[in-house]
Every structure is written in C-alpha cells, then in structure tokens.
Amino acid sequence: MTIGQANTEALIAPLSLAGGGFAMLALDQRESLRAMFARAGRVPVGDDTLRRFKRQGIEILTPHASGVLLDRPLAVTGERPAGIAPGCGLILAADVLHHAPGGHIDFTSLDPLATPAFIERVGAVAIKLLVIWRAGRDRAERADLVSAFIDVARRAGVASLVEGIVRPDGDQPWTSARQRDNAIIAAAAEFSAFRPTIYKAEVPGYSESDLSRVYAESVRMSQVVAGPWVVLSNGVRQADFAGAVRLACEGGAHGFLAGRAIWSDVIGERDVGPALRTRSARRLDQMVAIVEHSMRERVSGGMAGRAREEDDDG
C-alpha cells in the first residue's frame, strides 16, 4: 500500500460502511428545498421550515447512513448539529450556490466561512464542493475553484468531495443522450485530475426511466476517476434510483450521496416525521443493502481472482 492510498483510506474511513463503500445522505439543499415546500403548498416557506425538516431528517435518517451532507448556515452553525447518529460522518457543504430565484444554479463559489478552523469546530470529517461544468467554457475558473477547495480540505485534514454537474454550452438542450453521457465522463476526467478524495457524479448513462446504459457508462467512469466515486440522485426518478445505484456499483461506483431519491416524497406530508421513519428510512436501508452487497461481491471477486493467479503461479 502506498502512502497516498493509506492517507485516502484514513480520510474515507469515517464516511464508510463497515464492509466498505458509502451510503451517504444529502440534506444540504437550500433554495431548492424551499421550492419543494412551496410546490407542496407550504407558502410562505421560511428558514424555520427548512431547519425543522433538516433536524428531523438528521435525527431519523442518520442512524441508517454512513455520512450526512449538511449546509451552512441552515443546518450547521457553530458546532456539530445535535442528533447526528454516532458513526455517521458529517460532510460540510463548502459551496455557495449562485442562481436566480427559483432557477437552476448558474455557478458556485467557495464559502469563505468554511475555514479549517470552522470545519474543526463543527466536527466535519469532509467537505463538499459542487461545480457546474460546461464544455468549452470556464475551465480556468473551474481549476482555480477546485484547487482552492482541495487546499482547504488539505489544511483542515479532512476528505474532499467534488461534485460535477454538467450543463450544455449555451441555452440549447443536449442534442442527444450520448452527448450528455460524454459530458459526464469528460467532467469526471477533468475534476479527477485534482485528486479529490471522493468524486460525486450524476448517474452515468441515465435518462428518464432508462437504465440500459448505466452499467457501461459507469465502467467508463471508473476508467477515468482515479479514486472512489459515488452517484447523486438529482435528476433521477425516485423509482429508478435503487436500480441505478446497483448498476453503477456493478460498474465500479462505491455507493451514493443522495437526498431527493430518499426523502423528496415526504415534503407534502402533514406530519413529516412518521413518513421519514417509514418510507424514507426503508428506502435508505434498501440502498445501503445494495452497496453492501456490491462491496462483498467486489471483495469476493478480487479474492477469487488472486486465488486463480496463485494457482497459475503454482
């Protein structure tokens, strides 16, 4: 084992399942969460509504997860949020999301208050940066942003998670599913060059209700990402996500960091707590089981391969 591998393993250990892999919960949504409550008829939607939902999600769902992603300042203020289950690592969102009211994220920047001192004070074991990727545009700016983020993580002594979200160049939609597939792989190759501890990707090869390309595109992803990578759930139908996680893991992913696919359907409930305890917790457990099975298969496959090599040597 190299020094770099040992350091990576030490950094990811607080976010890992016992058998390896990641089952991480995202509760860092900000204005998008406000919009979800508004669409469900909860108007006006104040910060207290968002904070209450995050507190419930933390208390009910983190016992089922290996890590939880939270934002500053709605969920993380001056200390580790109460209610995070023991053994569930805190990931701090270190990004500022820039967008028009109710619109898609146009670009992101590094949160100047997410300093090494703040990261230590709140007990985070990792930080996350979302980056918008557009072909042929803003590569130098992205490089500066990701480099600065990686440096903060290094100085804080925590894991770094870079999340790449691809967009077409300009206002036109993707010309084909293949064009978007290629963009997801190209973004992964670009960001992986900065050596984040974990790369967080849109599900490779996914299009609505179609999982047929996920495995093959996940294999492509594994060929360009130097370290472990996980999938996010934004843009994936809730009913499709478990299958997408299974296929992505078969193609080399190490798990997921997801929110909407786990809890989005409880937003309109009169009493969110019971819905989180039943539907969302069961859904999260199902996906944990998928990752655990994939990691066992990966280990047993590797052991079988080594055994065959030893037999050949003998």
Catalytic residues: 200
CB 64, CB 284: distance < 8 Å: yes
Task: Look up residue 201 and give its two tokens.
Answer: 């990707």
The Cα diameter of the chain in Å comes to: 72
CB 266, CB 252: distance < 8 Å: no
Q: State how far the alpha carbon of 90 is from the alpha carbons of 25, 26, 173, 272, 288, in Å.
A: 10, 10, 36, 23, 17
What is the per-residue burial (b if ≥16 Cβ within 10 Å, else e) of 185-205?
A: bebbbbbbebebbbbbbbbbb
- Check: CATH 3.30.70.270 for 3-313? no
3-state helix, strand, coil in the chain (%, to 5): 50, 20, 35
Cβ within 8 Å of residue 141, ≥6 positions away: none
* 10-residue averages of pLDDT along the chain (314 residues): 74 97 98 94 90 98 98 95 97 95 88 98 98 94 98 98 94 90 98 98 96 98 97 96 98 98 94 96 98 95 50 54
Query: Looking at residue 230, what is its pLDDT?
Result: 98
Query: Is residue 116 reached through a cis peptide bond, with omega within 30 degrees of 0 on the bond before it?
Result: no
Query: Looking at residue 1, what is its pLDDT?
Result: 57
Q: Which residue has 């090869």 as its token pair?
A: 205
| The amino acid at 93 | A
Query: Looking at residue 252, what is its pLDDT?
Result: 98
Q: Which residue has 């007990």 as its token pair?
A: 123
pTM: predicted TM-score of the whole model, two decimal places: 0.94
β-pair type (229-231, 67-70): unpaired
Go through the chain and tell me how many residues it has: 314
Task: Look up residue 31 and give its two tokens.
Answer: 């204005």
Query: Looking at residue 313, what is its pLDDT?
Result: 55
Cβ within 8 Å of residue 278, ≥6 positions away: none
Query: Looking at residue 306, what is its pLDDT?
Result: 42
Question: How far, in Å, CA of 126 to CA of 281, rounded?
Answer: 23
For residues 235, 223, 16, 105, the Cα torsion angle rounded to the nearest 10 degrees is: -30
Q: State how far the alpha carbon of 152 is from the alpha carbons of 97, 108, 158, in Å.
A: 18, 16, 9
Query: Looking at residue 38, what is its pLDDT?
Result: 93
Segments making up each domain of the chain, as ranges: 3-313
Question: How far, in Å, CA of 278 to CA of 41, rounded?
Answer: 22
Q: How many beta carbons lie within 10 A of that of residue 309, not counting itself?
A: 10
Query: Looking at residue 29, what is its pLDDT?
Result: 96
